[in-house]
Structure 1
Amino acid sequence: MATKPLLRKPEWLKINLATGQDYENMKELKQMMRSKTLHTVCEEAKCPNIHECWANRTATFMILGDICTRACRFCAVKSGLPTELDLAEPERVAEAAEQMGLRHCVVTSVARDDLADGGASIFAATIRAIRKRLPMCSVEVLIPDFMGSEDSLRTVLEAKPDILNHNIETVERLSDRVRSKAKYRRSLELLARSKSIAPNIPTKSSIMVGVGETWDEILQTMDDLRAVDCDIMTIGQYLQPTKNHLRVEKYYAPEEFAELKAEGMKRGFKHVESGPLVRSSYHAHEQVNSARGVAST
């Protein structure tokens, strides 16, 4: 059976490379990350916004090594059996955040199903280390599902992040095809549980579009997230990182992303970031005020 031809990338997905001082900022940040043996999801996941974000001296730290125990069909992060567990990593992340003078810091990780707590204790230690060095810096964590462990989730929440982010990634029908081990309903349960344990900590989730979902399924995902009181949602275009990953089934136009943002706001999200190049941590610093508004209500 003949395979469908690859879709041509539309004009609005062209990425501007950093030049001049922006390029120097980007190079300086990369050198600092290497000197502290730190990883960023910006590099490992081949994020299309790396030039913009790094030029502005913002980055999303990826803790717990650079090898993921899962092999999701959309993700470019290396998968396999991790060998790294660096207990000094939280302090190095905090040092880097201090050196960058961050006002908002995003911390994510590979999935570490090989660890009893899924790496929750390292997340908590990283939050506390950043707070110690940068008391005025808000901290957002983008966590895996910890295989449904409530104890692991509690460990992270007890460190009091400013935003608890967990990505549902796609619509329910496609979840098992797109993700590895993660379950759509388990993700919703994690977000609901977070609100139950720490109602004042805003929650956030993200989906990527273009993997074969329907418009109505996207809206249903919004409804499912709002049903567990998720506060912030991000929506972006899936881009195939290598020929071995899922193919793009559709490129959404900027007007469609604008319509999805309107649909999300209509449903009661406090903030919706929606656009072709939007990723979970894109413009995360600009969402802090929205998050704090949620926390104060």
Structure 2
Amino acid sequence: MVVKPDWLRVKAPQWERVGQVKDVLRDLGLNTVCEEASCPNIGECFHAGTATFLIMGPACTRACPYCDIDFEKKPKALDPSEPERLAEAVRRMNLNHVVITSVNRDDLPDGGASQFVRCIEAVRRLSAKTTVEVLIPDLCANWEALDTLLQAQPEVLNHNTETVRRLYRRVRPQGDYDRSLELLKRSRQLRPQVYTKSGIMVGLGETDAEVRQVMQDLRSVDCDIITLGQYLQPTPKHLPVAEFISPEQFDAWKTYGESLGFLQVVASPLTRSSYHAEQVRTLMENNPR
């Protein structure tokens, strides 16, 4: 059995608050990536009253060997009530910032972009002051769909690079490193006022130089925010952890990222792409567009 280092231990959550959030989610029939992907920060985030909503799921059309989201079930037709239910959850939880993500829906002509739009619009109607971050798949390089999504004007568009170029075939076999960079580049070109964001997992066998190259590549497409976190193996059938990266190395990457000009670098063993996402509100206040 692989023994996790001390720095990967998380505090036990206050289950009363966690239960309150779960009650809202169950009452409205919603999924969260916090639960579906077995996020280690679920207790902290639910206790703080935040959640990353997973739409169009929980079944995914891709089978990434690092991810705990189910890919064996057949995706269902889009639920027209989902946007309103999501917006109602945002209202009940009184969220200042909401993150909306999805499974990959390669079976849909627009990859699900129109459902993202409907969710954003529903949140705007019920919680006008809530800022919206969307964490989207690559949409199979459907740039018209990307433009449609961006017309809904989310404050932040997040698309994770996930790993270094060399490991893509193994870690993200149905993805493409250059396609992900192109999505972020086009997002900036189509809607310059929208902040762009990306994240990677480490501990899969990448080198320090390769991580720094990803950071350079993201800055080359004017990406604003980057997150770096430790990969954790969800089950024995998933990719194994090659290395547990020390907090000191994460600190070094944070310093390097800031030197490249990222507006925000969130780097720690427990960082996930939506971890402390609400801090982007401060970023936007300090760097208005």
CA distance in structure 2 between the partners assigned to 1:263 and 1:285 by the alignment: 23
State yes or no: 1:165 paired with 2:158.
yes
Aligned pair partner of 2:192 in 196, 199, 220: 199
TM-aligned CA deviation for residue 288 of structure 1: 2.2
Q: Can you list the C-alpha shifts for 1:75-107, whole angstroms capped at 9, x where unaligned?
A: 000003202410110010000000000000000
State yes or no: 1:76 paired with 2:71.
no
For 1:40, the equivalent position in structure 2 comes to 32
Q: Can you list the C-alpha shifts for 1:140-170, whole angstroms capped at 9, x where unaligned?
A: 0000000000011011100000000000000
CA distance in structure 2 between the partners assigned to 1:289 and 1:161 by the alignment: 16
CA contact (8 A) 1:111 1:144 kept: yes
TM-aligned CA deviation for residue 295 of structure 1: 4.3
Q: Can you list the C-alpha shifts for 1:45-95, whole angstroms capped at 9, x where unaligned?
A: 000000000011100000002000001011000003202410110010000
For 2:19, the equivalent position in structure 1 comes to 27
CA distance in structure 2 between the partners assigned to 1:125 and 1:294 by the alignment: 28
Aligned pair partner of 2:4 in 9, 33, 43: 9
Give runs of ≥4 in structure 1 deviating > 3 Å. Answer: 291-295
Aligned residue for 1:223, secondary structure, equals helix
Number of aligned pairs?
288
For 1:143, the equivalent position in structure 2 comes to 136
Aligned residue for 1:248, secondary structure, equals coil
Structure 1 counterpart of 2:103, which letter?
V
Structure 1 counterpart of 2:15, which letter?
Y
Aligned pair partner of 1:85 in 60, 66, 78: 78
TM-aligned CA deviation for residue 292 of structure 1: 4.6
Structure 2 counterpart of 1:179, which letter?
R
Which deviates further from its counterpart, 36-45 or 176-185? 176-185
CA distance in structure 2 between the partners assigned to 1:110 and 1:196 by the alignment: 25
TM-score normalized by the length of structure 1: 0.95
CA distance in structure 2 between the partners assigned to 1:121 and 1:222 by the alignment: 30
CA contact (8 A) 1:163 1:291 kept: no
CA distance in structure 2 between the partners assigned to 1:123 and 1:7 by the alignment: 39
Aligned residue for 1:251, secondary structure, equals coil
For 1:115, the equivalent position in structure 2 comes to 108
CA distance in structure 2 between the partners assigned to 1:295 and 1:155 by the alignment: 23
TM-aligned CA deviation for residue 246 of structure 1: 0.5
TM-aligned CA deviation for residue 180 of structure 1: 3.5
Structure 1 counterpart of 2:34, which letter?
C
For 2:216, the equivalent position in structure 1 comes to 223
State yes or no: 1:125 paired with 2:118.
yes
For 1:256, the equivalent position in structure 2 comes to 249
The residue correspondences of 1:153-192 to structure 2 (distance < 5 A) are 153-192=146-185
For 1:3, the equivalent position in structure 2 comes to none
CA distance in structure 1 between the partners assigned to 2:134 and 2:287 by the alignment: 17
TM-aligned CA deviation for residue 294 of structure 1: 4.0
CA contact (8 A) 1:65 1:84 kept: no
Q: 1:294 to 1:188 in 2, by over 3 A?
A: farther
Unaligned runs of 5+ in 2: none
Aligned pair partner of 1:95 in 88, 94, 110: 88
For 1:238, the equivalent position in structure 2 comes to 231
CA distance in structure 2 between the partners assigned to 1:201 and 1:247 by the alignment: 36
